[in-house]
A and B are shown apart, each in its own frame.
Chain A
Amino acid sequence: DVVLTQTPLSLAVTPGQPASISCKSSQSLLHTNGKTYLYWYVQRPGQSPQPLIYELSRRFSGVPDRFSGSGSGTNFTLTISRAETEDVGIYYCVEGIHLPPAFGGGTKVEIK
């Protein structure tokens, strides 16, 4: 089974400053069709998960452009270019190469 490892477990960010979360996969997430099936979701306090990024770097509709996804193969990064107070929550990566899809353990983001 694929294992996704997120680091750090928690992160305190100053508003206006950048933040990065790493997601490492035990197997390549590059499909033979050329797409990388890595997704990012955020769960804000008391809310359901919400989508951020699909297929490595594409933003879901309505997601601010301060969120970006990057990486390749087995190493991936979610970057918040300028953190805002509303960005508090737990961020999860999830892979779509395999069935069942595997979630990372989550990274808690707090605002200083």
Chain B
Amino acid sequence: EVQLVESGGGLVQPGRSLRLSCAVSGFSFDDYAMHWVRQVPGKGLEWVSGIPWNSGLVAYADSVRGRFTISRDNAQNSLYLQMDNLRPEDTAFYYCARGPLYYNDWFLPHFDFWGQGTLVTVSS
């Protein structure tokens, strides 16, 4: 059974940092691209960042570029999102999602499995 479990969310002050993790099981993690998608409570979905299986390329939404860093550890079957200089508008549920299998398609929003999400609240 495919499982994605996010952790690391919580309440943090503006300007501080937080690191989210996504532990996966039930599939060959190092075969797939992975992505982060967020959702302000009660609002729509926003793609945040993505990374192919070999971390060769990464991509970010304009709203987080330069502040967030996506990474993965294939040996640990884990995806990460390092969030620095957090702002109140970063308050959201953060979901990790499994992306495409094929490297050339790594950036496509082909998300066949999602985690349950972790809530990040940025407030003083």
Give A contacts to B, CB under 8 Å. Answer: 37, 39, 41, 43, 48-51, 54, 60-61, 92, 94-96, 99-106
Residue among A37, A39, A51, A60 with the highest chain B CB neighbour number at 10 A:
A51
A105 and B44: CB pair below 8 A?
Answer: yes
Q: Which of these, A61, A96, A106, contacts B109 with CB under 8 Å?
A: A96
4 closest A-B pairs by CB: A101-B109, A48-B114, A96-B108, A103-B45
| Nearest-CB residue, chain A, relative to B46 | A103
A103 and B114: CB pair below 8 A?
Answer: no
- Once bound together, how far apart are the Cα atoms of A61 and B117, in whole Å? 22
Does B52 touch A at the CB level, under 8 Å? Answer: no
A100 and B111: CB pair below 8 A?
Answer: no
A49 and B45: CB pair below 8 A?
Answer: yes
A100 partner residues in chain B, CB cutoff 8 A: 47, 59-62
| Nearest-CB residue, chain B, relative to A60 | B112
Give B contacts to A, CB under 8 Å. Answer: 37, 44-47, 59-62, 95, 97, 107-112, 114-117
B114 partner residues in chain A, CB cutoff 8 A: 48-50
Q: List 17 A-B contacts (CB under 8 A).
A: A37-B108, A41-B111, A43-B45, A48-B116, A49-B97, A94-B45, A96-B107, A96-B108, A96-B109, A96-B110, A99-B107, A100-B47, A100-B62, A101-B47, A101-B107, A101-B109, A103-B44
B112 and A94: CB pair below 8 A?
Answer: no
| Nearest-CB residue, chain B, relative to A92 | B45
B110 partner residues in chain A, CB cutoff 8 A: 39, 54, 96
